[in-house]
Chains A and B, each alone.
Chain A
Amino acid sequence: MSKILVIAEHDGSKLNPATAKCVACASAIPGADISVLVLAASAGAVAAQAANIAGVARVLTLENAVFAQALAATIAPAVVGATGDHTHIFGPSTTFGKDLMPRIAALLGAPQISDLMAVESATRFKRPIYAGNAIVTVECAADSKVVATVRVASFEAAGAASAAAPIEALQLSVELPTHTRFVAVTAARSDRPDLQTAARVVSGGRALGSAENFKILYSLADKMGAAVGASRAAVDAGYAANEMQVGQTGKIIAPELYMAFGISGAIQHLTGIKDARTIVAINKDPEAPIFEVADFGLVGDLFQIVPELEKQLGQKA
């Protein structure tokens, strides 16, 4: 039997939707017995949410004031102490998971599968390499633990459980390092949906020309109830914040609708959107590579098209 430990990502009160996607991935392993581990200053609220995800057999909690911030250096040894006889340790392939999971893997002496996108068996998995230009199937040894970051865009979130799973508090058994200290986090405050999980995303490229011009996309996004993303070129040029970057080294997303405005479609960008259900591309260059992957393409000036779209799209669905 495969015993899978999913490390919950949360902000102290709310479970990140990426966790339910990790559970869905874990559920694809035959005979999976799934535990979710919540590390928090106070785990109650998050643990209750995790207990309500279908497929979760139990929720384990580790409470300590230092877990108020998700620092890999402090969390990793605590996770390792709680690993027990779990065979698979999964986390999301968000910046939280990408930072944390390799530290856990190294402490366990285990290999890590980054961006796990499909489960073939308890020991065989698929993952993208070369910015998604190739998919490799990897096999790990049955007698070794394996760590993975789950490519959240590849999995539909597990649904709600019919009955809540039991919650069990664990005692911290290891000493935690103090060499890494949280100072601050600055986030662009936004009332818009989270880019990683939004059903609709409106995204802009270098053709927007300035941060000021990006406002036309915010306005359209607000009308549509969409999140706003950006290409690397737009972020590098300072038109959009770093956390808005979509692509190989930014966020990999799978919305129902992705609308790309003035994005030419470098392969590194396409990597981030190819699981979107519907892709719309608007670009003045009819040869832009983005049109090769778009379901609907429109050649034209985005500064005319965006306001017109906003007018015609009416209300959010």
Chain B
Amino acid sequence: MKRILVAIKRVVDYNVRIRVKPDGTGVITDGVKMSINPFDEIALEEALRIKEKGQAEEVVAVSIGPADCQQQLRTALAMGADRALHVQTDAVIEPLDAARIFKSLADREQALLAILGKQAIDDDCNQTGQMLAALWNRPQATFASKVEINGDKALVTREVDAGLETLEIDLPAVITADLRLNEPRYVKLPDIMKAKKKPLETLDLAAVGVTPAERLRAVKFDPPAQRSKGVMVKDVQELVEALKRRGLA
């Protein structure tokens, strides 16, 4: 079966203003709204569109983390994923271990494609997709803004510093979604009801054969250095004079 695995990470919602704990041991996440990582939502939308074009038969949403991740998996099922896999753990999972878990699941599910968000908006790592591709020994097309599946190949347009780059990749492969790949659909109420009946399988780390390691220990969290508010100028002339005083005009 032509199957697409999609990564669904539970993260602090895009709109939450992040604050560092006063004792520097982390950021405040108690009671804040949690959501699907926005890039993962785009990844899921792309998988659904590929399936709707008849180029894949099943979309499987995968999340790694504590029990609460099932909320985001249910949202993914409501968006249209056929089933969900939850690798349940309370351990800190670094990108390399996340990639190992996805590799194990890609093998188990005989995946044709794995689509992930290009980065998670919590740790901003931008690593897991590339690491999965390396461990799987398959192509990677990161920062995708357009995906065309042609049989056992795909043409992927990528957003790179120079502009737009197109790659041809053999499937199976890993694609990571950039902002402009698509606009994710809204979930409708009947879909939320339907999603409750879709299969959601929970696995533990032993089932995927991964023992997580802490390779990078977080020692301390600090708030960023703040820029001080400058001055308001009243017109262009005053602005140009101010810039001249700084040698900028």
Contacts and interface: CB of A to CB of B under 8 A. Distances in A.
Interface of A: 71-73, 76, 94-96, 98-107, 109-115, 124, 128-141, 144, 177, 179-188, 196, 200, 232, 235-236, 241-243, 248-249, 251, 256-257, 267, 274, 278-280, 291-300, 305, 308-309, 312-314, 317
Nearest to B122: A130
Contacts of A182: 165-167
A179 B239 contact: no
B222 A183 contact: no
B105 to A, nearest CB: 16
> What are the nearest 8 A-B pairs in CB distance?
A187-B163, A102-B130, A111-B215, A295-B230, A106-B131, A106-B134, A102-B127, A133-B18
A76 B132 CA distance: 13
Contacts of B99: 106
Contacts of B17: 133, 267
Nearest to A120: B219
A95 B134 contact: no
B125 A185 contact: no
Contacts of A187: 162-164
Contact of B163 (A188, A297, A305): A188
Contact of A291 (B119, B131, B170, B232): B232
A298 B161 contact: no
B216 A140 contact: yes
B70 interface: no
Contact of A309 (B119, B169, B236): B236
Interface of B: 12, 17-20, 27, 94-96, 99, 118-119, 121-135, 137-143, 145, 155, 158-170, 173, 178-180, 215-224, 227, 229-237, 239-240, 242-243, 246-249
A269 B132 CA distance: 29
B216 to A, nearest CB: 4
Given A72-B130, A243-B162, A313 B216 contact: no
Contacts, number: 247
B231 A296 contact: yes
Contacts of A106: 96, 99, 130-132, 134-135
A128 B220 contact: no
A81 to B, nearest CB: 14
A101 B94 CA distance: 15
A139 B217 contact: yes
Given A112-B127, A114-B124, A248-B124, A180 B236 contact: no
Contact of A180 (B20, B140, B159): B140
B49 to A, nearest CB: 19
29 contacts: A72-B140, A73-B139, A94-B161, A99-B142, A103-B133, A111-B215, A128-B124, A131-B18, A133-B17, A133-B18, A133-B19, A134-B223, A134-B224, A135-B222, A136-B220, A138-B217, A179-B139, A180-B169, A181-B167, A185-B162, A257-B248, A278-B246, A294-B229, A296-B231, A296-B239, A298-B234, A308-B236, A312-B240, A317-B248
B219 A124 contact: yes
Contacts of A104: 134
Contacts of A256: 248
B140 A132 contact: no
B249 A280 contact: no
A128 B218 CA distance: 12
Q: Report whether over half of chain A's contact residues are helix, strand or loop; otherwise say mixed.
A: mixed
Given A102-B95, A104-B134, A106-B130, 10 more contacts: A99-B160, A111-B216, A114-B126, A130-B27, A132-B224, A137-B218, A185-B162, A185-B164, A297-B231, A309-B240
Contact of A95 (B94, B160, B248): B160
A295 B228 CA distance: 8
Where chain B touches its partner, the secondary structure class is mixed
B94 A111 contact: yes
Given A73-B133, A111-B96, A140 B215 contact: yes
Contacts of A144: 215
Contact of B224 (A128, A177, A181, A251): A128
Which residue of A104, A111, A134 has the most chain B CB atoms within 10 A of its CB atom? A134
A183 B165 CA distance: 8
Contact of A134 (B128, B131, B222): B222
A285 to B, nearest CB: 13
B233 A296 contact: yes
A171 B124 CA distance: 36
Contacts of B133: 73, 103
Nearest to B183: A236
Contacts of B132: 106
A38 to B, nearest CB: 18
Contacts of A139: 216-217, 219
A293 B162 CA distance: 28
A73 B140 contact: yes
Contact of B229 (A94, A129, A291, A309): A291
A317 B247 contact: yes
Contacts of A124: 219
B107 to A, nearest CB: 16
